[in-house]
Structure 1
């Protein structure tokens, strides 16, 4: 008889974990509080426009494809990808102080750097070499392995590799050693915001994110990012898995420090294992009610941990095609990016905020009505525990006006507000209420030095058996590709424990009879 695994949440890591476990021979059942799959990889549909709710940039496509290849399927039958070049555009001061299109073609990229300074071009190549070396160390020794015990990290071999990462500098300081031009430097450091941390105080290792873009490119999935979520849902169901939607988990059932199942609508549902894709801080505080099974992650500790930034996102249906953007992905940097990012993590309301604009219908016209475009605009803002202001209609109007004022300074977009025919938005409160993102922090726990690798929550619960965690607040961290790795780690941990459990129960033949090994 197959052992049963309950997966809490049909987010990216929950779906990927469920597929892996179903393929490994378990009976897997997902319980999801929303009506559709995807978690923050959700979709908003309004007035004929379709928007990805959260993640939009596809990096490391091999990790997206891996989940389909694992079970013998052709990824192209599920997720059609195309590589983008240029990858994105960067506007400085609405383009009036500078505009760059960033290519992953090294020839074109070098031309951009040489145009600014041959010295910066030389420094850029040095940065690429050094961060690539650190990337290989991280990939081979840290990102794809668990740290269940202290000795998994605190041993001579791992400590030697950790020293190679040289993580004690910030991403900005590291890049500044090699690139002096401020605009070029910002172009290859802001990507740490993809995981919710500022390049000015985030560990230098995370400057590997732009390196991954430059070496491996940025991709687009036809139909938008939500296609990935729908395709994983489809694959899981094809494998025989079960999903219960609008099924809000109220509690993880724990007896004698062993997870036994979940409680939904006051009904106990039992299983052999529980794998939780709900945001780790939320889960420990609200779903694990047995205090001893929380281990070191008490409610007090959860409250004191550092959280990533949050997001304010506008979804704008436009009454025409937006030809003023040459690329689907565009980044707008305010007059003082450093001050802007410092204010986010200081809880201040932003003046002239930097933001990201995405026009998916430029790549796939089916995502908007004919002759129209949908603009997704994301403003990084403070998480709810840090913000020194409330999210009211006045706050929403303030940020909306700031964004539209910046866009209206782009040639051809002077009357952009008049072109808006459909509008919706997400605030940090929405991320907290809809997706249980603790403090509305879209990227979970901030990846500081004291909240990374072995110091980040691990897949295997430390104080409770048969309970596992996955998602952006667990090791190895946030971002869709990295979250897919967290699913791989969590399922491998569960399968390992199950194999050990099975082995301990195997009958051992001895003279005169049969006993269970380990009894």
Structure 2
């Protein structure tokens, strides 16, 4: 018999989560633990969204994320759910070195969380004085990390009054949102080579290092201070385990179940459930949309000016991703490898200003079987190549031709820079193009990381976690607050869940009374401090951009 969620027939509060991406399954696990009866609805036949796996000929590939950064956010999620990664059987493997970064002239730079190894690399390139610059960069990026962790990833920004916190206003300039990641790195490194080494990570946000706010050097800090990790069995172990936890507590998952629209009350002021593609209606007290935000607003919700505005907001890049099954080892490649274009800035301009494929490619190569042998048959390797490119525009592109060009240029670059020819080792290939990302995951324009993290797309400017006009309708995922990336979406799941519980008058099991009162913002002079924060941020951004131009 069809399970129908009708609030009047249930003692428990009920929730429907649309989309089983990382943010969706983490929200489901938290809501179920807090006392909701949760159903998760997913259009695909797998969970995890982009954080899922591809299997082929005994080889395993991470479809999307392959680096576990900001590990504290992962540990916090499982701790809040009354367990731990270790208790759930998830083993995190430390990747050492972090990366090998290859340049066209044959130079290779090794990145590591080992201070001695980093000191050797820095001084080899910039001499003894370069070490002081590195430590200065580490101190600043660590400051970005600490401020963001406390004041951004732990807080909701529902409106301009959310900027009122005095302690946050005093730290706005220290976040360097008014300068770019590249500009901040240039302060500490004199060589162009190291400036590139310490800024390419802006691509984790789908942004150019020349446009990404300086705050995001926190990603490099996480890599250098905490290391890069990988879950044995693939990155999907994270969402898979969250699904298991929520199911143990009673949550229901329905895969292969597309949603047609969100159901609303007669006055259109409250979400009451969802209408499935097969015509079935499911009802609930709360609906959480983990689908791509533009898809949610333009397809699942009624037409509105907000939906139109979201479509025009800047979005992240897309990618051509190649998944290669190798018959033998790629001996010269480590777990994580970066190949940077000589025309560094020009390649980013092609991607982000012209939404195109650069004339010279920068790309990332992941060999999961190097750190986790279970990713490939004995004697072989699994290899993923991610080539950033522009997202889909109205201008048509010949994707088969682009894929052929990318394949050849990647193989040539690997051979020239490492001395290894992978061509005879490739036995099968799977390809994701921007069109595949769009079709498989409903990603607007095939943007693999959702909405951009440009200055006017973060903090109070980023779309909120609750629908402004529709009660009981919430959002979680890459394009809502706080932002994109697996750990950030886990932080967002906590923010969204606590917002739901507060509005429903229910306690969060993981928050003590002492913590609750400590986290309550001071509101007596909200308008003044909100205005101060806004003036400081926007004024600083305009002034510094004018200087940089």
TM-score of the pair, normalised by structure 1: 0.92
Supply the distance in 2 between the matched residues of 1:262 and 1:238 (Cα, whole angstroms): 24
- Spell out, residue by residue over 1:185-219, the C-alpha distance to the aligned partner (whole angstroms, 9 max, x if none): 11111111011111011111111110111111101
Q: Which residue of 1 aligns with 2:383?
A: 375
Alignment of 1:191-230 (within 5 A): 191-230=201-240
Over 3 Å counting, the alpha-carbon distance change for 1:370 and 1:499 in structure 2 is same
Q: Which residue of 1 aligns with 2:420?
A: 413
State the shift of 1:268 in Å: 1.5
Structure 1 residue runs without a partner (length 5+): 502-519
State the shift of 1:3 in Å: 0.6
Supply the distance in 2 between the matched residues of 1:231 and 1:338 (Cα, whole angstroms): 40
* Residue 364 of structure 2, aligned match among 350, 356, 360: 356
Q: Which residue of 2 aligns with 1:448?
A: 454
State the shift of 1:222 in Å: 0.3
Supply the distance in 2 between the matched residues of 1:224 and 1:129 (Cα, whole angstroms): 32
Which deviates more from structure 2 when the two are superposed, residues 67-76 or residues 355-364? 67-76
* Residue 78 of structure 1, aligned match among 85, 89, 93: 89
Supply the distance in 2 between the matched residues of 1:358 and 1:42 (Cα, whole angstroms): 15
Supply the distance in 2 between the matched residues of 1:205 and 1:385 (Cα, whole angstroms): 29
State the shift of 1:74 in Å: 3.3
Q: Is the 8 A contact 1:459 1:468 kept in 2?
A: yes
Give every structure 1 segment of 4 or more consecutive aligned residues whose post-TM-superposition deviation is greater than 4 Å: 154-157
Supply the distance in 1 between the matched residues of 2:212 and 2:85 (Cα, whole angstroms): 34
Supply the distance in 2 between the matched residues of 1:468 and 1:428 (Cα, whole angstroms): 27
Supply the distance in 2 between the matched residues of 1:297 and 1:412 (Cα, whole angstroms): 52
Q: Is the 8 A contact 1:141 1:161 kept in 2?
A: no
State the shift of 1:73 in Å: 2.0
Which deviates more from structure 2 when the two are superposed, residues 268-277 or residues 358-367? 358-367
**Does 2:177 correspond to 1:178?**
no
Q: Which residue of 1 aligns with 2:301?
A: 288
Supply the distance in 2 between the matched residues of 1:84 and 1:361 (Cα, whole angstroms): 12
Q: Which residue of 2 aligns with 1:258?
A: 270
Aligned-residue CA RMSD in angstroms?
A: 1.6
**Does 2:101 correspond to 1:90?**
yes
Q: Does the residue aligned with 2:325 lie in a helix, a strand or coil?
A: strand
Which deviates more from structure 2 when the two are superposed, residues 44-53 or residues 388-397? 388-397
TM-score of the pair, normalised by structure 2: 0.87
**Does 2:38 correspond to 1:24?**
no
State the shift of 1:166 in Å: 2.5
Q: Which residue of 1 aligns with 2:436?
A: 430
Supply the distance in 2 between the matched residues of 1:128 and 1:410 (Cα, whole angstroms): 29
Q: Which residue of 1 aligns with 2:473?
A: 467
Which deviates more from structure 2 when the two are superposed, residues 248-257 or residues 439-448? 248-257
Q: Does the residue aligned with 1:471 lie in a helix, a strand or coil?
A: coil
Q: Is the 8 A contact 2:51 2:236 kept in 1?
A: yes
Q: Is the 8 A contact 1:334 1:340 kept in 2?
A: yes
Structure 2 residue runs without a partner (length 5+): 1-10, 508-549
Q: Is the 8 A contact 1:391 1:427 kept in 2?
A: no
- Spell out, residue by residue over 1:99-142, the C-alpha distance to the aligned partner (whole angstroms, 9 max, x if none): 02211012221221112222322112112212222322222112
* Residue 402 of structure 1, aligned match among 404, 409, 422: 409
Q: Is the 8 A contact 2:102 2:417 kept in 1?
A: no
Q: Is the 8 A contact 1:349 1:389 kept in 2?
A: no
